[in-house]
């Protein structure tokens, strides 16, 4: 689990990310308080920062000034492609990702060791990539 020192002078933080995968990628960023997940309090400016290529545009995460105590989660789902299930399971091994958090003062933190989980639904194969950062 990464931790990240927030800069209270900023309205939010910027997220850039790149997922390398053998299939289309869909990503959503979510911010919440671990002990109060039903009331996140801070909005994610762009909850769908990534298109299916895995190449992310810079996205503002959090529109409120009080980010301390929240956890930022970025979850990517990859639809692994291949001509048959065996090939899809092999291709699933190639999924990788990293992302970068950045505040206005160019303070950056990178995160290259997400939790990667391969799942199956019948003959379909998916990879979920989960990044989490505690904003302290």
12 vs 49, beta carbon nearer other proteins: 49
Identified binder of other proteins from the candidate list 58, 66, 68, 93, rule CB under 8 A: 93
Of residues 56, 75, 69, 72, the one with CA closest to residue 114: 75
**Binding flags for other proteins, 112-131, as an x/- string (CB under 8 A):** ---x-x-x-xxxx-x-x-x-
Question: Closest separation between CB of residue 41 and other proteins, Å?
Answer: 14
Task: Give SS3 for 90.
Answer: helix
Cβ burial of 112 (10 Å; 0-12, 13-18, 19+) is: exposed
61 touches other proteins by CB under 8 A? no
Cβ burial of 123 (10 Å; 0-12, 13-18, 19+) is: exposed
Rg (CA), the chain: 16
Contact residues toward other proteins (CB under 8 A) are: 1, 18, 20-26, 28, 30, 32, 34, 37, 48, 51-55, 57, 71, 73, 75, 77, 79, 81-86, 90-91, 93-94, 96, 98, 115, 117, 119, 121-124, 126, 128, 130, 132
């Amino acid at each position: 689990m990464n931790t990240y020192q927030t800069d209270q002078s900023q309205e939010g933080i910027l997220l850039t990310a790149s997922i390398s995968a053998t299939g289309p990628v869909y990503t959503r960023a979510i911010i919440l308080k671990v002990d109060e997940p039903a009331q996140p309090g801070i909005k994610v400016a762009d909850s769908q920062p990534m298109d299916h290529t895995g190449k992310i545009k810079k996205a503002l995460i959090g529109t409120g000034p009080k980010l301390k105590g929240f956890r930022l989660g970025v979850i990517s789902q990859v639809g692994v492609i291949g001509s048959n299930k065996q090939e899809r399971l092999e291709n699933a091994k190639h999924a990788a990702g990293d992302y970068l958090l950045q505040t206005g003062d160019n303070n950056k933190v990178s995160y290259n060791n997400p939790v990667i989980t391969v799942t199956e639904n019948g003959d379909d194969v998916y990879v979920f990539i989960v990044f989490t950062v505690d904003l302290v």
